[in-house]
């Protein structure tokens, strides 16, 4: 299929140039997702969807447009390009809109990133997905404390995606990837009408590496029971440990203003922070696009530039921004890449239990809810849930509290990273321990 998509992309580029485009970038994709959803002993939903489409960036007479269609019949593509080029020529010229430098296409990673599991894809079908979804519920209901369970829902899904990218100034590339996901969510009884929910999941490029269905189901129930009897603690400044499952959300808020669009529009608190300390010296992050089986791995970015390792933070010092060709040109800088791939972190020596012992007293944050972060100022506020810790042990479930601060001061309070990078995300972040930071509660 990838060769067929490449043929289509090359033909679209040829047609675009024939019709008057001076530059064209074409992406053609096909994806398939299959999913079984199970709830309380019954099949709730079975879905299978296939999508195919085409996206084309056109540059004509110094003008630019981005267009898409899902109709890939030759006559439809011909009409689509004619109309898209006519509209492009009505727009204002923008000297910064251009294809990536062809030098940036060169020397892409050529090793096998193992993003596609042929054996795993061949092994799954509707019957197998149903069996797995049911097994997840059985495991959840067999966990300790299951007498409190109100409801269990589970899901088993897999997806396959293929794409081809062709640029008129010298790039031809294809990509194929698969992913397998198992998820369970358990709701339990609490005082009044409260029903704490706990969920757990696994996602892998290689199906054989998924966690056992039994462990996923049991973990969902355990996490639900952790929320029973939760209440807010008094407002104040407390030390905290943020679990690896949760920490990525705050980290994404920290790094979002490193985006070229926000920097150029003067809406980024990181715009003038290159080479400056924005976090604890313990925090180092590398954007690593070639992690084998990585959920964010890729050989080319969306513009076709060959991906490279890029240090984002080194010892807490900001080293790079995410700059695509357009915003780099507007800022008078060199492009890096459009967006993140896999974020790999410096790692500590202690596991989660040892980190809680080191904190002794404070909040163990296991989930976030709601919240907002201002990319221009760095101010943020977010709801939290978790456990109150004393002498390193949980003594009270906590909810209805907010963590608030400013990223430029908050991340400097980081005191320890754990040795437990989260495996089911492109943000491979470990658990984090902070000194006293501000919480609002009762």
pLDDT number for residue 442: 81
Instruction: Spell out the residues 6+ positions from residue 323 whose beta carbon is closer than 8 angstroms to its own.
Output: 260, 263, 331, 333, 334, 335, 336, 337
pLDDT number for residue 295: 98
> What are the backbone dihedrals phi and psi of residue 318, each rounded to the nearest 5 degrees, phi first?
-75, 125
Using the Cα atoms of residue 111, residue 115, residue 117 and residue 120 in order, give the sign of their dihedral.
Answer: positive
What's 2-31+49-100's CATH class? alpha beta
- Tens digit of each residue's pLDDT (9 = 90 or more) over 317-365: 999 999 999 999 999 999 999 999 999 999 899 999 999 999 999 999 9
Q: What is the mean pLDDT of residues 374-392?
A: 97
Q: What is the mean pLDDT of residues 109-113?
A: 95
Give the span between the Cα atoms of 187 and 151, in whole angstroms: 5
| Domain residue limits, the chain | 2-31+49-100, 118-225, 236-440
> Which of left, alpha, beta for 150 (phi over 0: left; psi -120 to 50: alpha)?
alpha
- Tens digit of each residue's pLDDT (9 = 90 or more) over 333-342: 999 999 999 9
Q: Taking all residues of the chain, what is their mean pLDDT, rounded to a whole number?
A: 96
**H helices within 190-283, ranges in order?**
213-225, 244-255, 260-264
- The answer to whether 9 and 25 have CB atoms below 8 angstroms apart is no
Using the predicted structure, report yes or no on whether residue 1 has a pLDDT greater than 70: no
Q: What is the mean pLDDT of residues 49-56?
A: 97
Using the predicted structure, report yes or no on whether residue 302 has a pLDDT greater than 70: yes
What is this structure's pTM?
0.95
Classified as helix, coil or strand, 428 is: strand
Strand locations in 101-223 (E): 149-167, 171-188, 197-204
Question: What percent of the chain lies above the pLDDT cut of 70?
Answer: 100
Give the span between the Cα atoms of 364 and 434, in whole angstroms: 10
- Tens digit of each residue's pLDDT (9 = 90 or more) over 5-36: 999 999 999 999 999 999 999 999 999 999 99
- The answer to whether 330 and 336 have CB atoms below 8 angstroms apart is no
Q: Tell me whether strands 362-373 and 236-242 are parallel, antiparallel or unpaired.
A: parallel
How many Å separate Cα 181 from the centre of its chain? 14
Could you tell me which residues are beta bridge partners of residue 416? 433
Using the predicted structure, report yes or no on whether residue 39 has a pLDDT greater than 80: yes
Which fold, 118-225?
PmbA/TldD fold (3.30.2290)
pLDDT number for residue 41: 95
Give the span between the Cα atoms of 332 and 95, in whole angstroms: 12
Give the span between the Cα atoms of 153 and 28, in whole angstroms: 35
pLDDT number for residue 37: 97
- Tens digit of each residue's pLDDT (9 = 90 or more) over 187-238: 999 998 899 999 999 999 999 999 999 999 999 999 999 999 999 999 999 9
pLDDT number for residue 192: 87
Instruction: Spell out the residues 6+ positions from residue 14 whose beta carbon is closer than 8 angstroms to its own.
Output: none
- Tens digit of each residue's pLDDT (9 = 90 or more) over 54-85: 999 999 999 999 999 999 999 999 999 999 99
């Amino acid at each position: 299929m990838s060769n067929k998509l490449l043929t289509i992309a090359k033909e679209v580029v040829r047609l675009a140039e024939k019709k008057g485009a001076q530059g064209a970038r074409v992406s053609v994709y096909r994806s398939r997702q299959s999913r079984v959803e199970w709830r309380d002993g019954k099949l709730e939903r079975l879905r299978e969807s296939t999508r195919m489409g085409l996206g084309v960036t056109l540059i004509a007479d110094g003008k630019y447009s981005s267009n898409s269609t899902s109709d890939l019949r030759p006559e439809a593509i011909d009409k689509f390009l004619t109309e898209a080029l006519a509209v492009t020529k009505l727009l204002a010229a923008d000297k910064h809109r251009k294809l990536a430098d062809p030098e940036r296409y060169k020397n892409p990673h050529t090793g096998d990133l193992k993003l596609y599991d042929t054996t795993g894809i061949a092994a799954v079908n509707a019957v197998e997905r149903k069996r797995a979804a049911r097994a997840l519920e059985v495991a959840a209901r067999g966990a300790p404390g299951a007498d409190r369970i109100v409801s269990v829902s589970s899901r088993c899904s897999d997806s396959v995606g293929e794409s081809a990218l062709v640029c008129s100034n010298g790039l031809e590339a294809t990509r194929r990837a698969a992913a397998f996901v198992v998820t369970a969510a358990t709701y339990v009884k609490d005082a009044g009408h409260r029903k704490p929910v706990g969920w757990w999941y696994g996602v892998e490029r290689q199906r054989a590496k998924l966690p056992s269905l039994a462990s996923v189901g049991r973990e969902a129930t355990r996490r639900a029971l952790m929320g029973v009897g939760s209440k807010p603690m008094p407002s104040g400044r407390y030390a905290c440990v943020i679990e690896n499952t949760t920490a990525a959300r705050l980290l994404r808020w920290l790094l979002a203003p490193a985006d070229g669009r926000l920097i150029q529009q003067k809406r980024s608190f990181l715009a003038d922070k290159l080479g400056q300390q924005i976090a604890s010296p313990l925090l180092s992050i590398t954007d690593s696009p070639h992690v084998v089986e990585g959920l964010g791995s890729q050989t080319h970015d969306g513009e076709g530039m060959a991906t490279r390792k890029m240090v984002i933070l080194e010892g807490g010092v900001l080293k790079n921004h995410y700059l695509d060709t357009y915003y780099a040109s507007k800022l008078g800088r060199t492009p890096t890449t459009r967006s993140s791939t896999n974020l790999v972190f410096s790692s500590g020596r202690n596991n989660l239990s040892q980190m809680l012992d080191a904190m002794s007293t404070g909040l163990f944050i296991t989930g976030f809810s709601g919240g907002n972060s201002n990319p221009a100022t760095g101010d943020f506020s977010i709801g939290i849930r978790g456990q109150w810790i004393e002498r390193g042990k949980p003594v009270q479930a906590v909810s209805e509290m907010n963590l608030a601060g400013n990223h430029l001061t908050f991340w400097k309070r980081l005191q320890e990273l754990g040795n437990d990078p989260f495996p089911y995300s492109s943000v491979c972040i470990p658990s984090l321990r902070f000194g006293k930071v501000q919480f609002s509660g009762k």
